[in-house]
Chains A and B, each alone.
Chain A
Amino acid sequence: MIRFTRVTKTYPRTGTAVQDVSLMVNKGEFVLLTGASGAGKTSLLKMVYLEERPTSGEVRVAGTSSVTATARDVAKLRRKLGIVFQDFRLLENRTVEQNVAFALEVIGAPAAVIGGKVNRVLTQVGLASKGRAFPRELSGGEQQRVAIARALVNDPFALIADEPTGNLDDRATRGIFQLLRDINAGGTAIIMATHNLELIRRQEYRTIEMARGQIVFDSAEPAATADPAR
């Protein structure tokens, strides 16, 4: 479903961020991506939703190849992915409902279905009663729930979360993590980058650790999904 084949990413100014990474993430999997700052987690995730393209190698996501994808292919791919960031990225001048609906509007969803879908995901993330609130009126944890609702509203096959709990306190972190587990239980794959070691130790999920652009540990190794060349 998501396959990295000998992927290297080099930036002109800052050098190599990801080096010769091969990786396979299966349908419905929950993957924790960990490693120090600058280890290449964010670059790796950006290549999943093709915000960045590999300098060499290939990323293949749900049939879309980083080598051949056009801008339109990238747009289409992102409609099948949900993406969440540490800083939420909500529109301040729109309500919770409008923020979530925005994701449907801009891909041309028919107006008739938008209201129902928005209500459904807001209920799913536990914010059904806050639809009319503005982001600034919510706590950090609640804002991240709105961002997750926006990511979920298109029924993605995978949710990409780059440090989703980085700005949250422990309680909110646990809440968001539980929410992600629930979402995963519904069949959506989750790839989550995190620093939170406690979270990693406690969980039984697949954990991949990166350092200096390379994968130094993968709890799924030496499974059949690993790169045979390694």
Chain B
Amino acid sequence: MRPLRDAFETFRRAPLLSALSVTTIAFSLFALGLFGLVALNIREALERLEDRVEIRAFVAEGTPTEDVAQAASDIASFPEVQSAELVTQEQALKRAQSELGEFRDVFEGAVLPASIDLRLKPGLRDPATVKRVADRVKTYSFIDDVRYGEEWIEKLYRLRNIAGIAGLVLGFVFAAVSVIIIGATIRMAVLARAKEISIMRLVGATDGYIRRPFLVEGFAKGVMGGLLALVLTWIAQTLIDRYVIHTIYFDARVALLGLLFGALIGLLGSAVSVARHLRQV
């Protein structure tokens, strides 16, 4: 109970410094959170693009429908394949017409080939896997041609890799910067009480006793800063979503993780600052 009371006492005695610490932590985590939102939304967008990766195998004219249906169900059982759907000539025509809208007349009486349209499972949509599946499908004698937008997939994948690496590096930098800023803030709080600490030691308080309220305080500041940062990012996301571009927010698990991260930085930052201080004096 004592460390809790002491920590509260610190907030009461130095409300300005405490508020400053919480705000600094909040803004550091806010920056990190904003970056996280950007990364999350880019990943989300790329995943949506990936959903559209599709292999289309065109069927030679005159192939019996039963054969094609049999092949489609064979292909559907490939381990990489999520779905394989048979598209008949009529369906192909209808689809082309609906996609072209007002120009539908150009297809009047035209003949489009039937096809088997397949989608791969998430995580198996990389260029190599797509090519492998396409080649395998090509081995059916009645398959004329297989198309899958090779170049497009490769570009998408390169983009994804760059985004992933950039995200990792930037995320690390942002996290490191928050840790440094928060550490400095906590160090300030420790220095503000340097005299108190020296007197505590002089009259025989143990280091553990001196440390505990700082740990509680750091933890509390971290949690408060984390909460504030979550609120700020939520406001930012809502505004962007409403006025600029559709975005999504962290799910509860990630939000909780962010909060824990704040609490952990607060706790560790305090532990390190106090330990350093106690070693020096």
A76 within 8 A of B: yes
Residue contact A93 to B199, C-beta cutoff 8 Å: no
Q: Which residues of B contact A103 (CB under 8 A)?
A: 199, 203
Q: Which residues of B contact A226 (CB under 8 A)?
A: none
Q: Which residues of A contact B201 (CB under 8 A)?
A: 75, 78
> Closest 10 CB pairs between A and B?
A79-B204, A78-B204, A106-B205, A103-B203, A75-B206, A106-B200, A75-B204, A107-B204, A83-B202, A71-B207
Q: Which residue of A71, A76, A80, A89 contacts B202 across the interface (Cβ within 8 Å)?
A: A89
| Contact A102 to B199, CB < 8 A, known contacts A93-B13, A108-B209 | yes
SS class of chain B's interface: helix, strand, loop or mixed? helix
Q: Kindly state the separation between the CA atoms of A80 and B202 in the bound complex, as whole angstroms.
A: 11
29 examples of A-B residue contacts, CB within 8 angstroms: A49-B202, A71-B206, A71-B207, A75-B201, A75-B204, A75-B205, A75-B207, A77-B204, A78-B202, A80-B204, A83-B202, A89-B195, A89-B198, A89-B202, A91-B195, A91-B196, A91-B199, A93-B13, A102-B199, A102-B200, A102-B203, A103-B199, A106-B200, A106-B205, A107-B204, A107-B209, A108-B2, A108-B209, A154-B204
Q: Mark B175-199, 1 if CB is under 8 A from A, else 0.
A: 0000000000000000000011011
Residue contact B199 to A89, C-beta cutoff 8 Å: yes
Measured between C-beta atoms, what is the minimum distance from B33 to chain A in Å? 36
Q: Which residues of A contact B198 (CB under 8 A)?
A: 89
**Can you name the residue of chain A whose Cβ is closest to the Cβ of B193?**
A91
Residue contact B203 to A150, C-beta cutoff 8 Å: yes
Measured between C-beta atoms, what is the minimum distance from A151 to chain B in Å? 8
Interface residues of A (CB under 8 A from B): 49, 71-72, 75-80, 83, 89, 91, 93, 102-103, 106-108, 150, 154
Residue contact B195 to A106, C-beta cutoff 8 Å: no
Residue contact B203 to A78, C-beta cutoff 8 Å: yes
Q: Which residues of A contact B206 (CB under 8 A)?
A: 71-72, 75
Q: Kindly state the separation between the CA atoms of A91 and B209 in the bound complex, as whole angstroms.
A: 18
Measured between C-beta atoms, what is the minimum distance from B113 to chain A in Å? 83
Q: A72-B206, A107-B209, A108-B209 are in contact. List 14 more A-B contacts (CB 8 A).
A: A75-B201, A75-B205, A75-B207, A78-B201, A78-B204, A80-B204, A89-B198, A102-B199, A102-B200, A102-B203, A106-B204, A106-B205, A107-B203, A150-B203
Measured between C-beta atoms, what is the minimum distance from B121 to chain A in Å? 59
Measured between C-beta atoms, what is the minimum distance from A2 to chain B in Å? 17
Q: Kindly state the separation between the CA atoms of A150 and B209 in the bound complex, as whole angstroms.
A: 19
Q: Which residues of A contact B196 (CB under 8 A)?
A: 91
Q: Which residues of A contact B209 (CB under 8 A)?
A: 106-108
A103, A106, A154: residue with the most chain B Cβ atoms closer than 10 Å: A106
Q: Kindly state the separation between the CA atoms of A72 and B196 in the bound complex, as whole angstroms.
A: 19
